[in-house]
Amino acid sequence: MNVNDQMQREIVRGIRQFVEREVLPVAARLEHADEYPHALVDQMRDLGLFGCNVPTKYDGLGLDTITFALVIEELARGWMSLVGPLGTHSVICDIIHRFGTEPQRQKYLPDLASGVRRGGLALSESDAGTDVQRIRTTAARTDGGYLIRGSKMWITNGRHGNTFVLAAKTDPQADPPHTGISAFIIEKGAPGFTVGREIDKLGYRGVETCELHFDDFFVPEANLIGGVGGRGFKQIMAGLESERLNVAARGVGLARAAFEDAIRYSQERHTFGKPICQHQTIQNKLADMATRIEAARLLVRSAAEKKDRGERCDLEAGMAKLFATETAQEVVLEALRIHGGAGYAKDLNVERYYRDAPLLIIGGGTNELQRLIIAKGLLERFAV
Ligand SMILES: Cc1cc2nc3c(=O)[nH]c(=O)nc-3n(C[C@H](O)[C@H](O)[C@H](O)COP(=O)(O)OP(=O)(O)OC[C@H]3O[C@@H](n4cnc5c(N)ncnc54)[C@H](O)[C@@H]3O)c2cc1C
């Protein structure tokens, strides 16, 4: 759905109010306690946010990519972890919508949109992150379906989610290896699927990141995405293109939070007889921070516009992800500097921003990988 400007403003205003009233008062406490934000997630479900990118035909909000990015920015400005339950959930909605069979769409998308089902992406393993082709989890043919064996690592929503898109090798000998990877929709409940250790993290706390273990876990044939094996790598990589914009929008939101705190503090804190914002060095920092944030937001918008026009946008999504998340990393450090010693204390939110930012340069494809994707796209586009 293309949202008109007024609807977009109203949606963004609604999310901003939710963040101001409900999120900001509790975020620091929940984050320091590493406590899952059940009440906030329930409110996000009631606002329909789990169906942001699910078409209205399947009971979702069917927002366009730009509006969805603005929603993510607002949430991340309040507390980046709050985007965790939505992030890979929306990736699997995208994969099922684009590549699922019609019965798969009808079975899963309405429940994912309503939040009855909450999902995640089970791709990474202890020995395979960037190099997805190295995954070792297998799906062996059996009567009526497949038996999954192996372990996944770093799975966001692993404990509180109930529905996942899982990558497994249906042909471990395939050459090239990615042609042996298939994608499945899996649900908790049947034997052989257990949630293991929750990883204790630097930031992005409050949302769980888990190991998942599969020991001859049965998946019916009907849950092979698109009904054809060997296409999982391409399906998941296409889904990760949306994830890149999502992560870029988180970067804009986090950087904005840090900037807003810094510019406020710079007017309150006095040294040498004047507020620190009157020192030119601090002004330079504020100017650079705000300029980078604005540029990051425009890159996200430009890539999202291309996606909404149905054009290929892997290059632009990579640029947006790279720039917005590096911006977040730089801006949180500058915000910390502006706060001096106060920024290092857990009393203020700046130290949380500082711990949250690094995930953005790793998740959704590391920024090293984004540079490779960008360079590949440029060489295709400017081929002589
Ligand atoms: C908090 C958190 C949540 C996560 N959630 C999920 C999730 O929900 N689902 C999921 O499937 N995964 C998830 N991940 C995993 C994440 O996607 C991987 O950590 C990420 O893809 C990097 O993989 P890796 O950790 O194996 O690093 P590696 O691939 O081992 O990379 C190590 C370093 O080498 C660099 N590198 C690798 N290959 C190249 C190359 N060809 N050229 C240049 N540099 C290269 C990388 O950029 C990085 O700097 C999560 C990770 C974290 C930290």
Specify whether 15 is located in the same domain as 104. yes
Dig out the tokens for 297 from the structure. 């937001």
Secondary structure (3-state) at 350: helix
Q: What separation in Å is there between the alpha carbon of 341 and the centre of ligand 1?
A: 32
pLDDT at 233: 97
Q: Are residues 247 and 326 in the same domain?
A: yes
Burial class (CB within 10 angstroms; exposed 0-12, middle 13-18, buried 19+) of 309: exposed
Q: Which atom of ligand 1 is nearest to the CA of 367?
A: 47
- Give nearest CA residue, ligand 1 atom 2: 154
DSSP 128: B
**What is the β-pairing status of strands 138-142 and 145-156?**
antiparallel
**Do the Cβ atoms of 212 and 187 come closer than 8 Å?**
no
Which CATH number does the domain housing residue 19 bear?
1.10.540.10
Residue 56 has pLDDT above 90, yes or no: yes
- Summarised one tens digit per residue, pLDDT across range 205-260 is 999 999 999 999 999 999 999 999 999 999 999 999 889 999 999 999 999 999 99
> For the domain that residue 126 is a member of, what is the CATH number?
2.40.110.10
User: Cα–Cα distance between 334 and 337 in angstroms, integer?
Assistant: 5
Residue 68 identity: F
d(CA 290, CA 140): 52
Contact criterion met (CB below 8 Å) for 369 and 130: yes
Count of other CB atoms within 10 angstroms of residue 131: 10
Question: Taking Cα atoms as reference points, which of 20, 112, 95 lies closest to residue 61?
Answer: 112
3-state secondary structure of 195: strand
pLDDT computed for residue 2 by the predictor: 63
In terms of domains, do 325 and 287 share one? yes
Q: Does ligand 1 lie within 6 Å of residue 363's CB atom?
A: yes
- pTM of the predicted model over 0.75: yes
When pLDDT is cut at 50, 70 and 90, the band that residue 355 belongs to is very high
Distance 300 CA to ligand 1 centre (A): 22
Residue span of the structural domain in which 58 resides: 5-114
**Per-residue confidence (pLDDT) for residue 312, from 0 to 100:** 86
Is the C-beta atom of 359 inside 6 A of ligand 1? yes
Looking from the CA of residue 152, the nearest atom of ligand 1 is 11
CA-closest residue to ligand 1 atom 41: 369
Q: Does 110 share its domain with 131?
A: no
265, exposed or middle or buried, with CB in 10 Å at 0-12, 13-18, 19+? buried
Q: Which residues pair with 212 in a beta bridge?
A: 152, 195
Terminal Cα distance for the chain, rounded: 39
Q: How far apart are CA 219 and CA 141, in angstroms?
A: 10
282 or 2, which is more confident: 282
In the reported structure, the alpha carbon of residue 198 is separated from the centroid of ligand 1 by a whole-number distance in angstroms of 17
Regarding the beta carbon of 369 and ligand 1, being less than 6 Å apart is answered: yes
Q: Are 147 and 213 in the same domain?
A: yes
Within this chain, do residues 262 and 349 fall inside the same structural domain, yes or no? yes
Q: Is 355 exposed, middle or buried (0-12, 13-18, 19+ CB in 10 A)?
A: middle
**pLDDT tens, position by position, 285-322:** 999 999 999 999 999 999 999 999 999 888 999 999 99
Task: Report the separation in Å between the CA atom of 155 and the middle of ligand 1, taken as the mean of its atom positions.
Answer: 12
User: What is the count of structural domains for the chain?
Assistant: 3
Final residue in a domain of this structure, among 177, 211, 229: 229
The verdict on 243 and 128 lying in the same domain is no
Pocket test for ligand 1, best of 91, 130, 329 (most atoms within 8 A of CB): 130
Structure token pair of residue 213: 């273990």
Short-list 121, 26, 17, CA closest to 71 = 17
Q: Count of CB atoms within 10 A of residue 12's CB?
A: 15
Q: Pick from 183, 211, 229: which residue ends a domain? A: 229
Q: Is the pLDDT of residue 155 over 70?
A: yes
Which single residue is written with the structure tokens 């990558």?
167
Asked if residue 258 and residue 298 are part of one domain, the reply reads yes
pLDDT of residue 5 exceeding 90, the answer is no
Which of 1 and 375 is assigned the larger pLDDT? 375
Which residues are CB-neighbours of 384 under 8 A, at least 6 positions away? none
122 phi and psi angles, rounded to 5 deg: -105, 90
Task: Report the distance separating Cα 202 and Cα 31, nearest Å.
Answer: 11
Q: Are residues 272 and 353 in the same domain?
A: yes
CA nearest ligand 1 atom 19, residue? 129
Residue of 126, 246, 366 best suited for mutating to test ligand 1, as the one with most atoms within 8 Å of CB: 366
Residue that has been written with the tokens 């849950």 in this structure:
223
**pLDDT of res. 241:** 85
- CATH, residue 252: 1.20.140.10
Q: Give the number of the atom of ligand 1 that is nearest the alpha carbon of residue 209.
A: 3
Average pLDDT rounded to a whole number, residues 141-163: 97
146 in the same domain as 33: no
Atom of ligand 1 nearest to the CA of 372: 42
- pLDDT band at 3; cut points 50, 70, 90: confident
For the CA of 167, the nearest atom of ligand 1: 11
Question: What six digits make up the tokens of 300?
Answer: 């996200």
- pLDDT at position 1 is 59
Q: Just list the catalytic residues.
A: 243
Q: Is the CB of 366 under 6 A from ligand 1?
A: yes
Domain-ending residue, one of 214, 229, 244: 229
Q: How far is the CA of 318 from the centre of ligand 1 (A)?
A: 15
Q: What are phi and psi of 245, to 5 degrees?
A: -70, -35
Nearest to 260 by CA among 13, 5, 16: 16
Q: Please work out, in degrees rounded to the nearest 5, the angle formed at the alpha carbon of residue 60 by the alpha carbons of 55 and 167.
A: 75
